[in-house]
Structure 1
Amino acid sequence: MSTEPRITLYSRPGCHLCDDARAVIERVCAEVGESYAEVSIDDDPALRERFGEEIPVTFVDGRQHDFWRVDERRLRAALARD
């Protein structure tokens, strides 16, 4: 398992799309041996301003990957790239 998470999920409490995205990310991470970090945009005004209504937003290896929904196939493909 990687020491640094390759995936970052920007979310907010009470967001049903965030719950769906988290479930996909957790499933994929468990299967491929990766980790992820979750950051609440409500804890940072700059993140709230940046992502606002686009949550959940996922980043892979520091680059924006998806917003609103996480496509499991695309996530797997992104993680397969080194």
Structure 2
Amino acid sequence: MSSPRELLLYTTLGCSLCEKAKLEIWPLLEQFGLRLREVDIADDDNLFERFSLLIPVVGLGDPEDTYAWPFQQSQLQAWLAKRIG
């Protein structure tokens, strides 16, 4: 059995919106066979430059294909369905 794909959550320490985003994300992980991996943008200059004003941002690994806050669970579900099926 293969390991679940990762849903990346670009975040940083003290991001209160990121905590709100997790409430929308958690119910979808099992549905899409995903596990959540938080990526701290403060650890990567490129990510910080790209996402510092947008976090929380989710993605499946392609930095050109991400989904930024604000989103509701149904919106994120539709975004994931288009990419995972």
**TM-score interval w.r.t. the shorter chain?**
0.7 to 0.9
Instruction: Please list, as runs of the form range in 1=range in 2, the aligned pairs for 1:36-47 lying within 5 A after superposition.
Output: 36-47=36-47
Count of residues in correspondence between the two structures: 79
Give the secondary structure class of the aligned counterpart of 2:38. Answer: strand
Q: How does 1:3-82 map to 2 (within 5 A)?
A: 3-5=4-6, 7-30=7-30, 32=31, 33-60=33-60, 62=62, 63-65=65-67, 67-81=68-82, 82=85
Q: CA RMSD in A?
A: 2.0
* Contact 1:11–1:18 (8 Å) recurs in 2: yes
Which runs of 5 or more structure 2 residues have no equivalent in the other structure? Answer: none
Give 1:13 deviation, angstroms: 1.1
The unaligned stretches of length 5 or more in structure 1 are none
Letter in 1 for 2:66: Q
1:64 maps to amino acid = T
Over the matched positions of the two proteins, sequence identity in percent amounts to 34
4+ aligned runs moved over 3 Å, structure 1: none
